[in-house]
Amino acid sequence: MTRRDLYRLGSRVLGGAIKLAVAVPALAFLVSPLRKKVAGQGGASDSGGSMETLTSLSQLKVGVPRSFPVIRDRNDAWVTYPSEPVGSVWLIRQPEGAKPEVIAYSAECPHLGCAINLTTDAREFLCPCHTSAFDFEGKPKNQVPPRPMDRLDVELTAETDPKVRVRFQKFRTLAEEKIPLA
């Protein structure tokens, strides 16, 4: 082996080592979301599978809607975001003896997804974007929204002052049926 062949071989080995030093971490970075999903750590954490504790039953007045933000940690493929509002929910406590005791509606308009608020006289819900209006049973009061307000699952804990837990979900807008988003 000549000195020239030795340099040539050394250059190839050094070049291969540099390529591996760059390729292995890059490949691990690209594959890491797949490993997290397999381990149950990744994916869309705000897909609506878990119940959120929003308040206690004693904090709600009968027949008076009250809005609560839903705050969650979010994860996408590579980034974990700190706790931030992902939506809000309207809760209405029902009169004594009524079932269910609390009704929850998504505060996202089924028309185009704008935030639903109360009117100034607090007698109905109103979406300010395109004037969709709803009564306190979630029924539309005009032809703008394609369906009633999206009702959410509610659960009360078994305590003396039960906690109100809601399964927060988002639904497809502009659809006549309530279609959950993944």
- Per-residue pLDDT reduced to its tens digit, 32-74: 877 776 654 444 444 446 899 999 999 999 999 999 999 988 8
Residue-by-residue pLDDT tens, the chain, 182 positions: 899 999 999 999 999 999 999 999 999 888 887 777 665 444 444 444 689 999 999 999 999 999 999 998 887 778 888 899 989 999 999 999 998 999 999 999 999 999 999 999 999 999 999 999 999 999 999 999 999 999 999 999 999 999 999 999 999 999 999 999 87
Q: What is the DSSP string of the chain?
A: --HHHHHHHHHHHHHHHHHHHHHHHHHHHHHHHHHHHHHT--S-TTSS-SEEEEEEGGGS-BT--EEEEEEEEEE-SS-EEEEEEEEEEEEEEPPTT-SSSEEEEESB-TTT-PBPEE-TTSSSEEETTTTEEE-TT--BSSSSSSS---EEEEEE-SSSSPEEEEE---B-TT-SS--B--
